[in-house]
Amino acid sequence: MSIKLFVGSISWDTTDEALKEHFSQAGEVISANVVTDRETGRSRGFGFVEFANDEDGKKAIDMFNEKELDGRKIFVNEARAKEEN
């Protein structure tokens, strides 16, 4: 069963590929994406990483939460389901 993580406070210079490469140290990454502004295409400072299994996702939280990536201290936790308006 896959697990999706929220990654907050990432550098505006961090790319999808860099995020995937960094988090793959913890296990098999299915997808990694930095959320961007629709109008400017600039990073909004957060993203999501999906792991193939829960164990790797939990390992990534332990490994990377409050650690540095591209010069910024990032925050990593399990993503919550999107709330309906």
pLDDT in tens, 43-70: 999 999 999 999 999 999 999 999 999 9
pTM flag (> 0.75): yes
Domain segments of the chain: what residues? 3-78
Q: Residues 59, 30, 63, CA angle at the centre, nearest 5°?
A: 20
Cα 65 from Cα 43, distance rounded (Å): 20
Cα distance between residue 85 and residue 76, in whole Å: 25
Q: What is the pLDDT of residues 7-32, one digit of tens each?
A: 999 999 999 999 999 999 999 999 99
Q: Name the CATH superfamily for 3-78.
A: RRM (RNA recognition motif) domain (3.30.70.330)
71 pLDDT above the threshold of 90: yes
pLDDT of residue 83: 73
pLDDT above 70 for 85: no
